[in-house]
Amino acid sequence: MKILLTGANGLLGSAIMERARQLGIACEPMARPQLGRDTVQLLQSSLDGYDVVIHAAANTNVEKCEVEPENCYADNFLLTELIAQGAAKASVRMVFISSTGIYGAWQDTPYREYDAVLPTTHHHCSKQMGEQAVLAAHGANLVVRTGWLFGGPAANPKNFVARRIEEARGASAGFIRSNREQRGVPCYNADVAQRIIELCQSDAAGIYNCVNSGNASRLEYVQAIVELAGLQVEVRPSDAASFNRKAKVSNNEMAECWKSAALGWPALPLWRDSLARYLNGELKDFGK
């Protein structure tokens, strides 16, 4: 199997690159194509010789997407549609990385793949449109919806775990705060990357939730980070409204891997176990 990967330097893309290397699978980064009338034809030729294109690149700035929606839709929908069309013309299977946030805010229990999608932000609307374009382009294509990704080097400014550890260490008042209302699934990028490669190696098609087992509020997540990092800092609850966000992000981004379980795939590890593995592995010497 030979993979072409967008977003190879991102949180998930870098984990896919590393796992493919460990498994001896050819996985090469793909530069962002320029948007234009010839984009599909250029993509078709650049995909020659590959078996799968994994589209992990995305505009993930949910707040900025609310004030600059045109850029959001160009990045997450239009570019995705063009890659899907180019892949279909080249007879190359496509895997699109989406988000469990697209389910919206209409229920309080974890979402499954058969649940309706009612996104509440421009970011998640654009991801839904990207999904639709990918699935319409070819019946063998795959959409992977994942959750609150963590992992990677501490130096990455978007490393949520490392930033919370720094926040706790710098807490002069002896406490930090976190959102008690929003719930989701913390997902280790290494676990998700492993499952994506497994799906690529199978005949899996359509929509798959791909999240670690269990779920947590943001508060519980940050409390676990602080506790597992061995820090004696209190994490106090805050309401979602106190963060004054532009994007009306759902308070429920929980999901379950219902489809893969029904088809006999093993569950991904519990999120807290994977968080401990990450803190004892890649982040073992962080800040010491």
Tokens read off for 235: 């994490």
Tell me the per-residue pLDDT of 136-165, one tens digit each, with 9 for 90 and over.
Answer: 999 999 999 999 999 999 999 999 999 999
User: Whose CA is closest to 198, among 84, 68, 74, 52?
Assistant: 52
Determine the Cα–Cα distance for residues 212 and 254; give it in Å rounded to an integer: 10
Mean pLDDT of all residues in the chain?
95
pTM here is 0.95
What's the pLDDT band for 174 if we cut at 50, 70, 90? confident
Q: Write out pLDDT tens, residues 69-116.
A: 999 999 999 999 999 999 999 999 999 999 999 999 999 999 999 999
Percent of the chain with pLDDT over 90: 91
- Nearest to residue 236, comparing CAs of 189, 287, 286, 168? 168
Alpha helix positions (H), the chain: 11-23, 39-46, 62-67, 69-73, 79-89, 122-137, 160-169, 189-201, 218-228, 258-262, 271-279
Domains of the chain and any CATH numbers: 2-150+187-213+254-270 (3.40.50.720), 160-182+216-251+273-279 (3.90.25.10)
Q: Which residues of 77-102 are buried (b: 16+ CB within 10 A; e: fewer)?
A: bbbbbbbbbbbbbbebbbbbbbbbbb
pLDDT tier at 126, thresholds 50, 70, 90: very high
